[in-house]
């Protein structure tokens, strides 16, 4: 049985304690958020599409961990079978370290290794990932002609059916992974020793809790940092950020933005942004809240631009809550370019960050769900990322739930703004 895998190796590079907890106490992991699950699914979907670049391969994916030894043997058998040209998720194990390579392609008497990433740029983590896989492949004696990272081409524009050869770019990292082999070997031994420790290593909370990824054991390590009912806010800063003069007409805006990794609409690029829906709560809206969406037909999304321009023109202040720069989004879509739209965007997310708002409920991130728990002792059974999943589910009942949750989010924004500034 292996000790390390690609994911646990990367986790160990980030934090030795996280690695130990993953191997010895996985039940203490935080619940996987819907956003994280969506990211994993997006990576899976892109990876499957990438198979079309090297089609007709054999899928070596184990269905359970108990199949790893069997799949290692089958992979080796396929290496010596001239009829096998491509393998997906080929399984190798060396020095107690197991990897599953996205694609292994026969290249004469050698093999081309390809790892697929669902992003438009390559990060240090991706290079470390590739270096570990090369270490295992080289240790197993697999002759490689090259090792490449495949990722999305941000310049690709959809024009008809997806052209996978244009959608993806490839970069050789062979020189890099060869140079890093000794570094990987040292880390493999170090991390194996961490797993063998009788107790979790002492690692103080710090930057590694969120960099490069949010830790799965964040809640466990942070649970004793503050008392459960403790919260702080810098009121002096908060009030200095209050809108002046006091606006006569306020609306609360909630935009649902969609950035598909693989472009869906003609003329769009990977991760190009579209507005799937918005909820606007204010005195000029019938029944207090107006909701628009194009859940059933994403190609209609540009209809929202003129509608938003007209709606927002009736208010002096637009209050929102988003980690994104909403002003930039509205400018990009020419929604606030019109001079007749006399309003100001007031982002509660940015304001609370500047005012150093703290509560144990937001240890895992400043979200509307956590904010409501902190300020109003209520917990709604939704996450913004879940609304997006509902909105793209092709299910009428999910569409209705997404609309309802958009309204609920806006109500939380309104309650928070009124609590702090009225």
- State the burial class of residue 2 (Cβ atoms within 10 Å of its Cβ: 0-12, 13-18, 19+): middle
pLDDT of 373: 81
Q: pLDDT at residue 251 above 70?
A: yes
Q: Locate 40 and state its tokens.
A: 């994993």
Among the listed ranges 15-24, 266-275, 370-379, which one has the minimum average pLDDT value? 370-379
Q: In DSSP terms, which residues pair with 115 in a beta bridge?
A: 149
* CA neighbor of 294 nearest in space, from 303, 285, 286: 303
What pLDDT, on the 0 to 100 scale, is given for residue 129?
96
Question: What is the residue-averaged pLDDT of the chain?
Answer: 89
The rounded distance, in Å, linking the Cα atoms of 380 and 370 is: 9
Residue carrying the six token digits 């009829």? 83
- Would you tell me how many other CB atoms lie within 10 Å of the CB of residue 391? 25
pLDDT score of 285 more than 70: yes
Residue 294 predicted with pLDDT over 90: yes
pLDDT at 29: 87
Catalogue the E-assigned strands of 317-411.
317-320, 344-347
In whole angstroms, what is the distance from residue 281 CA to residue 130 CA? 48
pLDDT tens-digit profile of 164-192? 999 999 999 999 999 999 999 999 999 99
CATH domain 235-421 topology: Nucleotidyltransferase; domain 5 (3.30.420)
Instruction: State yes or no: pLDDT of 342 exceeds 90.
Output: no
Domain boundaries, the chain: 4-222, 235-421
Report residue 142 as tokens: 């697999």
Q: Nearest Cα to 388, choosing from 413, 416, 414, 409?
A: 409
Segment (H or E) for 102: strand 97-107
pLDDT category at 386 given cuts 50, 70, 90 is confident
The CATH T-level fold of domain 4-222 is Lambda Exonuclease; Chain A (3.90.320)
Ranges 73-77, 155-159, 408-412: which has the least confidence: 408-412
338, pLDDT greater than 60? no
Give the integer Cα–Cα distance in Å for 346 and 421.
12
Spatial separation of the C-alpha atoms in residues 139 and 96, rounded to whole Å: 11
Average pLDDT over residues 31-57: 78
Q: What is the pLDDT, as a whole number, of residue 21? A: 94
Condensed to tens digits (0 to 9), the pLDDT of residues 53-93 reads: 999 999 999 999 999 999 999 999 999 999 999 999 999 99
Phi, psi of 62 (to 5 degrees): -70, 145
Q: How confident is the model at residue 340 (pLDDT cuts 50, 70, 90)?
A: low
Q: For residue 218, say if its preceding peptide bond is cis, omega within 30 degrees of 0.
A: no
**Res 139: pLDDT:** 97
């Amino acid at each position: 049985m292996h000790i390390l895998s690609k994911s646990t190796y990367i986790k160990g590079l980030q934090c030795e304690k996280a690695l130990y907890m993953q191997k010895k106490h996985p039940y203490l992991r935080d619940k996987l958020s819907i956003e994280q699950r969506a990211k994993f699914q997006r990576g899976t979907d892109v990876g499957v599409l990438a198979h079309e670049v090297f089609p007709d391969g054999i899928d070596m994916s184990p269905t359970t961990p108990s199949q790893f030894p069997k799949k290692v043997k089958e992979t080796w058998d396929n290496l010596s079978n001239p009829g096998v040209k491509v393998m997906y998720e080929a399984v190798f194990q060396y020095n107690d370290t197991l990897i599953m390579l996205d694609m292994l392609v026969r290249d004469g008497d050698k093999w081309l290794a390809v790892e697929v990433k669902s992003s438009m740029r390559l990060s240090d983590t991706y290079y470390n990932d590739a270096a570990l896989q090369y270490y295992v492949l080289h240790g197993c004696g697999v002759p490689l002609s090259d090792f490449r990272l495949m990722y999305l081409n941000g310049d690709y524009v959809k024009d008809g059916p997806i052209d996978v050869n244009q959608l993806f770019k490839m970069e050789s990292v062979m020189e890099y992974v060869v140079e890093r082999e000794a570094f990987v070997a040292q880390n493999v031994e170090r991390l194996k020793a961490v797993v063998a420790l009788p107790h979790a290593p002492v690692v103080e909370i710090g930057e590694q809790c969120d960099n490069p990824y949010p830790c799965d054991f964040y809640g466990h390590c942070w649970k004793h940092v503050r008392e459960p009912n403790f919260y702080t806010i810098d009121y002096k800063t908060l009030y200095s950020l209050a809108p002046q003069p006091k606006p006569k007409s306020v609306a609360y805006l909630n935009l649902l933005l969609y950035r598909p990794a693989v472009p869906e609409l003609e003329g769009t690029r990977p991760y190009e942004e579209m507005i799937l829906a918005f909820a606007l709560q204010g005195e000029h809206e019938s029944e207090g809240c107006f909701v628009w969406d194009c859940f059933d037909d994403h190609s209609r999304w540009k209809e929202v631009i003129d509608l938003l321009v007209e709606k927002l023109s009736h208010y002096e202040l637009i209050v929102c809550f988003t980690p994104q720069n909403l002003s930039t989004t509205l400018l990009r879509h020419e929604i606030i370019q019109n001079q007749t739209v006399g309003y100001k965007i007031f982002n509660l997310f940015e304001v609370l960050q500047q005012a150093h708002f703290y509560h144990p409920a937001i240890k895992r991130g400043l979200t509307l769900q956590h904010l409501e728990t902190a300020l109003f002792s209520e917990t709604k059974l939704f996450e913004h990322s879940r609304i997006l999943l509902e909105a793209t589910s092709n299910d009428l009942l999910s569409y209705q739930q997404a609309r309802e949750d958009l309204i609920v989010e806006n109500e939380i924004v309104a309650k928070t703004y009124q609590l702090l500034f009225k």
